[in-house]
Structure 1
Amino acid sequence: MYRPVIRLLLTCPLRVGLLLCSLVLFVPNSLGQDAAISGSERPNVIIIFIDDMGFGDVGFNGATGPKTPHLDQMAREGMQFRDFYVGCAVCSGSRTALMTGTHYQRLNMAAVLFPNSNKGLHPDEVTIADMLLDAGYATKCVGKWHLGHLPPCLPTYQGFQSYFGIPYSNDMWIDPANRLADDIVLREGVTLEQLRAGEKQKNQVPLMRDEEVIEYPVDQSTITKRYTEEAIRFIRQHRDEPFFLYLPHTMVHLPLAVSDAFKNRTGKLIWDAIEEVDWSVGEILGELRRAGLDERTLVIFTSDNGAAVGSSLPLRAKKGSVYDGGIREPTVMRWPGRIPAGTVCREVAASIDVLPTLAKLCRAELPQRPIDGHNIWSLMSGAKGATSPHQTYCLTHGPGTVRSGKWKYYPWPEGQSGRKADRSARDHNQGDRPSVQLYDTVADIGETRNVANEHPGVVQRLQAAWEAHNKELSANRRPAADLIRPKDALSPSRPGTPGRRSNSSVAPLDWASVEPGKTYPSSSVANLVKQPFTLTCKLSGDLASGVVVAHGGTLTGYSMYLHDGQLTFAVRQSGDTIRRVSLPLGPASDWTIVASVTPTAIRLKVNDNRAEVWQGDGRLLRHPAEDLSIAFDSKMPVDPEGPTRRFDGTIKSIRFQID
């Protein structure tokens, strides 16, 4: 009965609203108590939600690259969930499902929101923070929100008493409608006048406190460390009362960045970023121990979707796909004395189950509106004979999927990526080739052998569940919220792509005049879309290493680099599709290198006597947005597996031509 009052207060000016809220929280609640959890046993709750971390990125799931000692220790002290699913294979849909216990499609939320989106999570929906705030918990969000970057969808309108973080993905841009703090910190030469005039660049995002931008562009190399420090301050401030901390890290989403302590730690930037996230987990758990809160705090660690850069192995596919590599996540839950240590749950559970489970544990009221999750405390507590509450877990993201026990069903044929819907074939068989997919995830965790033809009864049952789920979901949708933009706000449209050459004042680049250590506008380089080209470099230097040339970033581009005596030419055609051609340099210290991209191959030649070829169309599908860099990579790496250091040899010449 107190929800409308609290929600109204949260939409007031922040300082006044929070003061009044603190008084309202002393009013007794009708909390729907569970006799099994007494008031003194209500746990503090910390949810650590990583961005784009794959199943195979952590030691407790077999990672051999990055070291994750703190997560591995957390797994020894808690319970691993080996079959834990999120509600979407990308950002916003996954966060919606976690925060509301409800499929994102039911709430008419987009799978991914952008700074130019005009919708967000409706404030009438009950989030975990809403529910726990009503139950007397202090609440805070630290990190990536991505459920709406303007009122009434910011965290402070969704049950969080305070917020510190980046409001969406770190590869996006600032919306001129966001309110600027009076003491905003401006970086990288940006002026207040430019910002008010609509300055925005891709990969340059704002840092917010509550409802104001306090830094632009945020220094992403410090963000994991600053999130961790902010989270620890909140724990210390609220150690004597129940609290809910939601820590959705920005990393390890592209563009990757790490603090000085983790730079060049492993040889791969993605591994450096994973290790810094692991460090953060260790700092949080260490603070709980020091504060005497260890046995009073439930900590849940998981990821929003599969790996974009890292590893989802041994699962099939990665981020964006509804194969398991896109939606089955590394997950640990830890509550000393309540969750049995060193245990593994192999029952199907999901992020939509977190909210109803916390309602039980924290003696809070479930939302009156229907949700899709179930209480999984019997699984978490290791109750004898406990089984998944999901007879079928249906996910309608992309082309869709159903998990039921050991079975994983796809109502579409093989040959797709699992990212986009193809509603064509619906017959269960077309000759000997099934038009649907069925995998035994216990016997075949990598989903390599389609057994649909061998189990027609299972296919029929899961197809019926799929159709019933879609019918019910379509009939019971609820609205998203309209973002409120000031009337005089400038457009939030996506920043223009320099490669479109809309700026006719930029002169064509004279490659003969390029200098090491400098950058050149991408718009000065000839249009590369589906164009064959050749890059010729003359280099020298004993044991030279580093980036020779880079043009592009996390969406598309090419780079050439030397590392450990190996020369690599990498072409990022789009997103996570990167083609690499490599050669050992041998004992020579002077090299003439010719790298070419054609409709049939990517070729690499050194000193006219060694050649390596990748067979296939290597041409770029779009022009790089990031500038051309000589002897270093100025922003985000084209190839995350390449070195981050500047080239320490000598570049005698670079020639480039469209063939």
Structure 2
Amino acid sequence: MRTKWLNSSLLIVATMIFFSCKISSKLEVKPPLDMKQQPNIVVIYLDDLGYGDLSCYGATEINTPNIDALADGGVRFTSGYATSATCTPSRYALLTGVYPWRNKNAKILPGDAPLLIDTEQQTLPKLLSKAGYQTAIIGKWHLGLGSGNVNWNETIKPSPNEVGFDESYILAATQDRVPTVYIENGHVVGLDKNDPIEVDYKKNFEGEPTAISNPEMLTMKWHHGHNNSIVNGIPRIGYMKGGNDAKWSDVDMADHFLKKAQDYVKNHKRNPFFLYYAMQQPHVPRTPHPRFVGKSGMGPRGDVILEADWCIGEFMKTLKEEGLLENTLIVFSSDNGPVLNDGYFDEAVEKLGKHDPKGGLRGGKYSLFEAGTRVPFITYWKGRITPNVSDAIVCQIDLLASLGNLVNRDEKSTDSENLMNTFLGESNKGRDNLIIEANSHTALRSGDWIMIPPYKGEVINKNVGNETGNSLEYKLYNLKIDVGQKHNLAKENPQKLKELMVVFENLKQ
């Protein structure tokens, strides 16, 4: 009896072990990349936000609690850079990992420009797609569309969808440029085919009102350059006719993009996704929703910064509610430094008060000085990143190589460096050298030093009032002791200048 019982017990145990092994072997069969272990990736990109525009970067006259929460829970970089002091070049670098000065066409584009990124070129969304990610852009594009002479009334190709994005919901260029319509996966949203869109950046369409011919129609007065077609009472850059049903509502734009970003997260939460959430604030025209009008005390510019902070807070709530916060890496930054008067009279200068958008830096948008390219830069991943402040030199151009490393897609890139450990707060090692750019002029950040070569051109941008960094002599600054770039050391330290000139020329080859 005992022998029978033992045999039966052994048979049962053996049977259990057999089926357990079968089940276990099935569970261990994984695809080459276990996507459940890969984090979602979100890049939140603001437009013209300055180094000193956030309370987490020292602002005292404005409070940005939701962005501060990212900084308090992540890594706040004190030497984080866009590649360029203007939008199109910075966006090109972020998505391609290539310095924009290598592409002669990487300049501020009109709204009808052809696609700047070659469809055969490596891009961040392409790289992540190869790693199994679903990819999307929601917000500002400004990297061109089509291959020239876009027909806005048909499918627009190539578009973001042809350079790696599975889904795209964008404004073609900027809020102050025509066409003033949303474009979803290459199609104008809400277009009435009986009211076709026409766009021209050289001449107006007969009988169409402009800021010059019909100033009585304006709700916002233009300062420079923004005096063409009028949409929603706002004069724009460029001329547009038709498409009335498709035109966006400026004051609802922030809410509109936020809802799209939230819906995207909800619809794709089951698999890893990459979302490039490119917000339009605080670029002109600054059109805060009525909920935010007057809230900052600094006019529309301050109000839209508060609006952007609120949007980010709402987006973060969505990640939390959907159970995604602990598995999402967020990168927050801006495409270039600040500018106050960039085309409209909106009291940005008059109501600035004690606020310093530059955060003690010199220059601003369009400038080779630090405030042109040194921008807020934060990485956040709840439970993975230990809160920290880092002085490491990092740049948006490095996201391609770094995120590629994170998802096990190490691929060669021209200029992008793998700084993933730095972005995760696990290393203080950043770049040794970085080339920055403004209006096709370049300069070198190397360690604590920055060297600006001599360039011809205006010293002050006469339209916006920012210093350009142009002069007929070399400029050399030690940023460790002179972050405001007040003391040019080129003549006092010729040996260091010569050393950096050699580094600069070697890097540009």
- Normalized against structure 1, the TM-score is what? 0.58
1:380 aligns with 2:423: yes
Q: Summarize deviations over 1:99-128 as a string: whole Å, max 9, x none.
A: 111111223432211124345211111221
* Separation (CA, whole Å) in 2 of partners of 1:402 and 1:284: 36
* Separation (CA, whole Å) in 2 of partners of 1:419 and 1:131: 38
Code of the aligned partner of 1:320 = Y
Give the structure 2 partner of residue 78 of structure 1.
74
* Separation (CA, whole Å) in 2 of partners of 1:445 and 1:166: 36
* Separation (CA, whole Å) in 2 of partners of 1:80 and 1:286: 21
Give the structure 2 partner of residue 458 of structure 1.
496
* Separation (CA, whole Å) in 2 of partners of 1:107 and 1:274: 32
Within a 5 Å distance, the mapping from 1:470-489 to structure 2 comes to 470=508, 472=509
Code of the aligned partner of 2:195 = L
Percent identity between matched residues is 27
C-alpha distance 61-169 of structure 1, shift in aligned 2 (>3 A): same
Q: Summarize deviations over 1:10-55 as a string: whole Å, max 9, x none.
A: xxxxxxxxxxxxxxxxxx9977xxxxxx754311000000001101
1:184 aligns with 2:215: no
* Separation (CA, whole Å) in 2 of partners of 1:257 and 1:364: 41
Q: Is the 8 A contact 1:170 1:255 kept in 2?
A: yes
Q: Summarize deviations over 1:437-481 as a string: whole Å, max 9, x none.
A: 1111121111111122232222111111222233x1xxxxxxxxx
Code of the aligned partner of 1:338 = R
Give the structure 2 partner of residue 244 of structure 1.
274
What SS class does the counterpart of residue 258 from structure 2 fall into? helix
1:144 aligns with 2:140: yes
* Separation (CA, whole Å) in 2 of partners of 1:288 and 1:182: 26
Higher share of residues assigned helix: 2
Higher share of residues assigned strand: 1
* Separation (CA, whole Å) in 2 of partners of 1:131 and 1:254: 32
Q: Is the 8 A contact 2:80 2:395 kept in 1?
A: yes
1:362 aligns with 2:362: no
2:383 to 329, 333, 337: 337
* Separation (CA, whole Å) in 1 of partners of 2:137 and 2:339: 24
Q: Is the 8 A contact 2:369 2:468 kept in 1?
A: no
Give the structure 2 partner of residue 18 of structure 1.
none
2:449 to 407, 419, 439: 407
Instruction: Return the offset for 1:371.
Output: 2.2
Give the structure 2 partner of residue 173 of structure 1.
178
1:394 aligns with 2:435: yes
* Separation (CA, whole Å) in 2 of partners of 1:147 and 1:303: 16
1:448 aligns with 2:460: no
Give unmatched runs, 5+ long, in structure 1.
1-27, 32-37, 207-212, 426-434, 473-659
1:127 aligns with 2:123: yes
* Separation (CA, whole Å) in 2 of partners of 1:47 and 1:182: 24
Give the structure 1 partner of residue 84 of structure 2.
88
* Separation (CA, whole Å) in 1 of partners of 2:82 and 2:230: 26
* Separation (CA, whole Å) in 2 of partners of 1:181 and 1:223: 16
1:110 to 92, 106, 118: 106
What SS class does the counterpart of residue 129 from structure 1 fall into? helix
Within a 5 Å distance, the mapping from 1:422-441 to structure 2 comes to 425=472, 435-441=473-479
What SS class does the counterpart of residue 140 from structure 2 fall into? coil
Give unmatched runs, 5+ long, in structure 2.
1-29, 147-155, 211-227, 237-242, 341-347, 349-356, 461-465
What SS class does the counterpart of residue 102 from structure 2 fall into? coil
* Separation (CA, whole Å) in 1 of partners of 2:314 and 2:180: 33
* Separation (CA, whole Å) in 2 of partners of 1:358 and 1:153: 25
Give the structure 2 partner of residue 256 of structure 1.
286
Q: Is the 8 A contact 2:282 2:301 kept in 1?
A: yes
* Separation (CA, whole Å) in 2 of partners of 1:377 and 1:183: 41
Within a 5 Å distance, the mapping from 1:504-543 to structure 2 comes to none
* Separation (CA, whole Å) in 2 of partners of 1:214 and 1:192: 7
Code of the aligned partner of 2:424 = S
What SS class does the counterpart of residue 83 from structure 1 fall into? strand
Within a 5 Å distance, the mapping from 1:221-240 to structure 2 comes to 221-240=251-270
C-alpha distance 241-446 of structure 1, shift in aligned 2 (>3 A): same
Q: Is the 8 A contact 2:36 2:271 kept in 1?
A: no
What SS class does the counterpart of residue 330 from structure 2 fall into? strand
* Separation (CA, whole Å) in 2 of partners of 1:277 and 1:44: 22
* Separation (CA, whole Å) in 2 of partners of 1:286 and 1:325: 31
Q: Is the 8 A contact 2:366 2:438 kept in 1?
A: no
* Separation (CA, whole Å) in 1 of partners of 2:57 and 2:158: 35
C-alpha distance 123-184 of structure 1, shift in aligned 2 (>3 A): same
The number of equivalent residue pairs is 412
* Separation (CA, whole Å) in 2 of partners of 1:242 and 1:387: 28
* Separation (CA, whole Å) in 2 of partners of 1:171 and 1:135: 36
Instruction: Return the offset for 1:322.
Output: 1.4
Instruction: Return the offset for 1:365.
Output: 5.0
